[in-house]
Chain A
């Protein structure tokens, strides 16, 4: 294959995967920004999102788009509940909160194992076929995911910028003390922040369910990517997560297409650690 064509295809593949990482990472960094908690259970919400879409589509025959939205709503509610019941004592207790989310992850994953069993299940494809951009091939199912992710991100942007609750969230991320001085109610902001954060993970899971299979174990791999993205982009910075997500997707795709897949992975980890050494706050994070 023509080198330029291969390069082009690799870039396209990378952008598509990058969007998926982005979605996963944005929720994760939001949770950290609001609550200062590294949410190790983020993976399980991704997984629950995938199961939610899977069940709605295959058992209740709800159309895919509606399933994703319903799953989002359910995830936000679940996140709200979890934050209020389980994580409240750990607000701003970084270390303990993080360990508590480990416990949460164990409960969620094993609960899913007991209910659904360990076998991967597959969801019927939402769209079939491919789109050609010149000689470059994009599977339609992935194109679909990209478009939907963009829509979600646009909605998030509007929410954070232009709605009162959204602005309160951003204020809390910026500076908690001043935000409370202005009367922003922690009781509302924390559960909401957590709920939306994990809701984003659930959307990512729901969108990717038709692409890959659905099982209680699918959360770990995207979670690892989300960690990397958030480290590189800066903990708590949403634009940072967006930028880093795309960069990771492209880097991975290029390395995977031109080098071997395992070398690619090692290189990426090494780069991440190097990045932390040189610029610990990440690309767009705030140094502290």
Chain B
């Protein structure tokens, strides 16, 4: 999107994004690699959670890119987590199969729910995803035979791939980092192919998109299914890291955190999930003493960003650049 204006100013403005990139990429690499050298397990723990949040919010971002806001994202993370844990522990399936199954369960639920619900206007979709999330939580609570009920399931074994066990924090960080990068790469790729352009078209003006031949409903369902599948996969990872799942781990506050991260990071940018997760994951831990003040800041930040920077922090560079071009 910013490309057209950059070419107007000629060579000098053209170099700006490249110069920024030259600083950002090595910096990004350094930050990503840092946890491997950290001794304190707590900071590696934060890094892992951040990566998992990047994946979760990427899924949400995908859904948002077709103009729908899911208020039940946490439930799909939970479906993936429980799906992976139950098939892994009760059926003895290997981790990769169990995780994919978890994601598949999330996809299936999203398909059924989305097909029916995405016909409705945005507001209804929000309310239904909200109701669906509560329904999932109640079902998880009420099926102690399989889900362990309110107590959840403890003692989940570490993730294992072809004999290599991710049972130390540094190892798991490697896995989490890989998935986070994959999620971002997927988002990047999507914005360059026709399918991604179709998503954006639907978001900007659904009626126009429909008129120009795009099947809005099918596109939104596709985005919803993929987005929830990504969330489900993240859930499977989360479960095998924490070693414990309970219905309360995937309740409304997870869905709301994801939305807050997405909005503050940037709903329309591929980097939005990264920025949102990077800022909002470590903060609660670093400022655990001032929990309430913290949340007040988040609320205020949310409102301010919506008002003054609706495309989130990711749009900040573009916004700052714009005054210098074209007067």
Does B259 lie within 8 Å of A280, measured CB to CB?
A: no
Q: A95-B69, A95-B122 are in contact. Are A110 and B295 (CB under 8 A)?
A: yes
Q: Is the CB of A269 within 8 A of B134?
A: yes
Q: Is the CB of A270 within 8 A of B124?
A: no
A222 to chain B, nearest CB (A): 14
B259 touches A102 (CB 8 A): yes
A sample of 12 inter-chain contacts (CB < 8 A) reads A95-B122, A99-B69, A99-B306, A100-B306, A102-B302, A106-B296, A110-B292, A110-B299, A114-B296, A224-B134, A265-B138, A269-B131
- Minimum CB–CB distance for B203 against chain A, Å: 11
* Interface: B283 (CB within 8 A): no
CB distance from B294 to the nearest CB of A (A): 8
Chain B interface residue bracket vs A: 35 or more
Determine the distance from Cα of A192 to Cα of B54 in the docked complex, in whole angstroms.
41
Query: Residue B214 at the A interface, CB < 8 A?
Result: no
B294 to A, closest residue via Cβ: A110
Range, interface on chain A: 35 or more
Contact A270 B135 (CB under 8 A): yes
Query: Which secondary structure dominates where chain B touches chain A?
Result: helix
Interface residue? A38 (CB, 8 A) = yes
Q: Which of B293, B299, B301 contacts A104 (CB 8 A)?
A: B299
Chain B residues numbered 211-256 whose CB sits less than 8 Å from any CB in chain A: 256
- B127 cross-chain contacts in A, Cβ below 8 A: 38, 227, 230-231
Choose from A94, A105, A110 the contact partner of B123 (Cβ within 8 Å): A94
* Residues 258-312 of B contacting A (Cβ, < 8 Å): 259-260, 263, 291-293, 295-296, 298-303, 306-307, 310
Q: Are A96 and B310 in touch, CB under 8 angstroms?
A: yes
B142 in contact with A269 (CB, 8 Å): no
A103 and B303 form a contact (CB under 8 A): yes
For residue B6, CB closer than 8 A to chain A, the reply is: no
Indicate if the CB atoms of B263 and A99 lie closer than 8 Å: yes
Q: Is B138 touching A269 in the complex (CB atoms < 8 A)?
A: yes
Task: State the CA gap A95–B69 with chains docked (Å).
Answer: 8
Using a CB–CB cutoff of 8 Å, the interface residues on chain B facing chain A are 69, 116-117, 119-124, 126-128, 130-132, 134-135, 138-139, 141-142, 256, 259-260, 263, 291-293, 295-296, 298-303, 306-307, 310
A137 within 8 Å of B by Cβ?
no
Whether B298 contacts A262 by the Cβ 8 Å rule is: no
Assembly CA distance A272 to B306 (angstroms): 31
Residues of B near A104 (CB, < 8 A) are 299, 303
A277 to B291, CA, bound (A): 40
* Contact A273-B302, Cβ < 8 Å, known A89-B307, A262-B141: no
Complex contact A107–B121 (CB within 8 A): no
Q: Separation in Å of the A231 CB from the closest CB of chain B? A: 5
User: Whose C-beta in chain B lies nearest to the C-beta of A228?
Assistant: B131
CA distance A99 to B304 in the complex (A): 11
How would residues 97 to 117 of chain A score, 1 for a CB under 8 Å from any chain B CB and 0 otherwise?
A: 011101111110111011000
Shortest distance between the CB of A32 and any CB in chain B (Å): 8
Q: A36-B123, A228-B131, A269-B135 are in contact. List 13 more A-B contacts (CB 8 A).
A: A38-B123, A99-B69, A100-B306, A102-B259, A103-B300, A103-B302, A103-B306, A104-B299, A107-B296, A107-B299, A227-B127, A235-B123, A273-B135
Q: Are A99 and B302 in contact (CB under 8 A)?
A: yes
